[in-house]
Amino acid sequence: MNLFSIDNLFLLLTGLVAIYLLWRFYSRWSKEKKLYDLYYGMGFLVLLVSGLLLIFLGFGILASPYVLTVASLIPLGISMGIVEEYYPSWKKTYKWFAVIGFSAIAITSIAGLDTLKTIAVPIFHGIAGLVIFLGPFLAKD
C-alpha cells in the first residue's frame, strides 16, 4: 500500500476541510446551541473518519457492508442539518425518513440482501443528496 498517492492526497485534503468545518460547527454550536450544527458535525465527522480509514486501510475496506452503513450517515447527517436549519416544518418527517433510510441501508447491506440494497441505497442516498444540493437554494428567509 502506497501512502503517498494522489488518491491519498485528495483524501487528506478532504479530511483537513472536514476538520475545519467540524471546528466551525462546534464553535457556532457552543454559542447558539442549534441542533443543526450537531447534524452537520456528525456528517463531517463521519467523512473525516471514513477518509482516514481509506488512507490507512486502503480501498479494500469499501467491500465491507459496515462501511456502507456508516458512510450513509454522511449525506443523511448533512441533509438533516439542512432540513433542521431551513425547513423546520419538515424536520420531524425528514428525521423519520432518515431513520428509516439508515435502517434500510443497514439491514440490506449487513444481511446481504443485494437486490433490496440496490433499491434502498439510491433512494435514500439520492434524496439526501438532492436535499444537500437543492435545499439551500430553495430556502426562503
The pLDDT-based confidence of 5 (bands split at 50, 70, 90) is: confident
The pLDDT-based confidence of 124 (bands split at 50, 70, 90) is: very high
At residue 1, the pLDDT reads 60
Q: What is the mean pLDDT of the chain?
A: 93
- 1 found inside a domain: no
At residue 107, the pLDDT reads 96
- 82 found inside a domain: yes
At residue 49, the pLDDT reads 94
Q: In whole angstroms, give the CA distance from residue 97 to residue 92.
A: 9
Segment 68-80 shows an average pLDDT of: 94
pTM of the model: 0.89
| C-alpha cell of residue 128 | 439526501
Number of structural domains (the chain) is 1
- 113 found inside a domain: yes
- Determine the structural domain holding residue 127 and report its residue range: 6-138
**CA-wise closest residue to 50 among 91, 24, 14, 86:** 14
- DSSP, collapsed to helix, strand or coil, labels residue 2 as coil
The pLDDT-based confidence of 141 (bands split at 50, 70, 90) is: low
Note the pLDDT tens digit of each residue in 38-67. 999 999 999 999 999 998 888 899 889 899
Type and span of the H or E element at 121: helix 114-138
- 133 found inside a domain: yes
